[in-house]
A = this chain, B = another copy of it.
Amino acid sequence: MPEIPVTAGPSAVDRLEEFATEWQSLDRDERVPAFRSLDPTMASDFFLGLESADRAALVGELIPQERRVWIRLLPADEAADLIQDVDEELRISLLALLDRNMRAEVEALLIYREDVAGGKMNPRYARISPEMTGQQALAYLRLQASEHIPLISYIYVVAPDDRLVGIISFRELILTPPARPIREVMNTDVVTVPEDLDQEGLAQVIQRNNLLAVPVVDPEGRMKGVVSIDDVLDVVREEATEDIQKLGGLEALDTPYFQTDFRSMIRKRGGWLSILFVGEMFTATAMSFFEAEIEKAVILAIFVPLIISSGGNSGSQASTLVIRAMALGEVGVREWWRVARREIGIGLALGVLLATIGALRISTWQLAFGSYGDVFPRLAATVALSLVGVVAWGTLAGCSLPFILRRAGFDPASASAPFVATAVDVTGLVIYFSVARLILLG
């Protein structure tokens, strides 16, 4: 057998990888020339690998002749996603660039929201009839393959009225004896999803059932299309990015970091920052109630940041855990009490831990520098006891806020670390100064 040379392939792939990384860091106006400089094969590989929002932005900046080439390269579901991402005017002119069949398919998809199963599905899929034999099915599949129907591991067995009656994998199909009818070998226990299932639910169905693709059916069980796992991979990533950004105390950006302009940055960050600031103003109000106490013992003011930040930090830990567990379906909406019961115990234990460190710190400074004079034992007791209270309360509030937000119809991920900190700072101050009034000031 002749030696087969190692192909030049991998280096083209590496070049694509490299270009894609570079491109991400280009400014908006540098992108079109960079894209145009690619050779045709690499340009189409690159275009197909882009996320929908990036693709829409790019197509928006091209001239109509180029747009025609690129939009026609996409399968119907991805063309529909792109068209949903551009403004009204461009939408109409992009639709006009499609051929008649494709336009009809894309328009059918545009009635679905982009983030539900109907909007994610590809209306073209490999289908056979239950009455075909193994040989007929393979021949029919060959015909569909020549018409650019995507083949992703499963073939759908569909009745003449479009109802999905079974599914057969490639493996099973090529093992089916030529004369055997498909209905005798197909699997009838099919996982399907409704057209309006949201994308998070879609990801869970695919992941839990270990699928590579899932058929979308209407309430009568008629096939509408197929969602493939690679569409879901993008969803999982996008949803995680949104949650992470919300957890950082800002609105989700929708666009990559360097593509987000100054104005949107200020809007997405300034909004939440102002809300948090107004919330945090209550600390000034709370502290002014205790002005007399601070005047009597200025030393009290010194520990304010330490005490309230401990409540915020423990609260942020608890809320983060609950938010992610909710997103993954590990914790249900009705399990507040089950969570709260655990968290009270954990909060008290963590409070005792910090109280011990805090008391040690104060005792060390007293022994080394005599920093606190006569009030030392009462100060140490005040700080330690406040820490137990503040950390336990922070933990309980942190684990409860996602449930409260969800119940009120908001995204639980809005219970970000800054949000929780703001929510518990005022109570932290009240706990601290109340304990101080009792112990330190008698």
Give A residues with C-beta under 8 Å from B. 1, 4, 6-10, 12-13, 16-17, 20-21, 24-25, 45, 48-49, 130-131, 138, 141-142, 145-146, 150-153, 159-160, 163, 165-166, 169-171, 174-175, 183, 187-192, 203, 205-212, 221, 228-230, 232-234, 236-237, 240-241, 243-245, 247-250, 253, 256-258, 262, 265-266, 269-270, 272-274, 276-278, 280-281, 283-284, 287-288, 291, 294-295, 298-299, 301-306, 308-310, 312-314, 316-317, 319-325, 328-332, 335, 338-339, 342, 345-346, 349-350, 353-354, 357-358, 361, 371, 391, 416-418, 421-422, 425, 429
Number of copies: 2
> Is the CB–CB distance between B153 and A248 below 8 Å?
no
Q: How far is the CB of A350 from chain B (nearest CB, A)?
A: 6
Known: A298-B294, A302-B291, A350-B266. A328 touches B152 (CB 8 A): no
Given A9-B188, A253-B321, A256-B330, is A230 in contact with B212 using a C-beta cutoff of 8 Å?
yes
Pairwise interchain contact B324-A371, C-beta atoms closer than 8 A: no
Chain B's closest residue to A258 (CB) is B330
Is A418 a contact of B174 with CB atoms below 8 Å? no
Of the listed residues A48, A335, A350, A418, the one surrounded by the most CB atoms of chain B closer than 10 A to its CB is A418
Q: Across the interface, name the chain B residue whose C-beta is closest to A395.
A: B269
Cα of A146 to Cα of B12 in the assembled complex, Å: 36
Asked if B244 and A183 make an inter-chain contact with CB atoms under 8 angstroms apart, the answer reads no
CA–CA, A154 and B244, complex, Å? 35
Rounded to whole Å, the gap between the CB of A297 and the closest CB of chain B is 11
* A49 and B130 alpha carbons, distance in the complex (Å): 28
Asked if A245 contacts B320 (CB within 8 A), the reply is yes
Q: Is the CB of A48 within 8 A of B298?
A: no
Main secondary structure of the interface of A (DSSP, over half): helix
Task: Point out the residues of chain B lying under 8 angstroms from A130, CB to CB.
Answer: 4
- Give min CB distance, A161 to chain B, whole Å: 9
CB distance from A151 to the nearest CB of B (A): 5
Say yes or no: A274 contacts B354, CB within 8 Å: yes
| B-side contacts of A309, CB under 8 Å | 276, 280, 283, 418, 421-422, 425
Alpha-carbon distance between A45 and B25 when the two chains are bound, in angstroms: 44
Given contacts A280-B305, A306-B280, contact A270 B330 (CB under 8 A): no
- When distances are taken between beta carbons in the complex, the residues of chain B under 8 Å from A273 are 310, 313-314, 317, 350, 353-354, 391
User: A190-B9, A208-B49, A283-B306 are contacts. A151–B170 as well, Cβ < 8 Å?
Assistant: yes
Query: Could you pull out 28 A-B pairs where Cβ atoms are within 8 angstroms?
Result: A4-B183, A7-B188, A9-B187, A10-B189, A17-B205, A49-B210, A142-B174, A142-B175, A151-B170, A170-B170, A206-B233, A233-B236, A237-B328, A243-B244, A247-B320, A253-B321, A258-B338, A262-B346, A265-B342, A269-B350, A273-B314, A276-B310, A277-B354, A280-B305, A280-B310, A287-B305, A291-B298, A301-B301
A331 touches B258 (CB 8 A): yes
Closest 10 CB pairs of A and B: A248-B320, A417-B417, A240-B240, A9-B189, A7-B188, A283-B305, A257-B325, A301-B301, A313-B418, A287-B302
In the complex, the chain B residue whose C-beta lies closest to that of A6 is B221
Residue A208 contacts which of B20, B281, B330, B335 (CB distance < 8 angstroms)?
A: B20
What CA separation (Å) do A240 and B328 show in the bound complex? Answer: 11
Do A331 and B25 contact each other (CB < 8 Å), given the known contacts A7-B189, A304-B304, A350-B273? yes
Q: How far is the CB of A305 from chain B (nearest CB, A)?
A: 4
- Kindly report which residue of chain B lies nearest to residue A428, judged by CB atoms: B305
A253 CA to B331 CA in the complex, in Å?
15
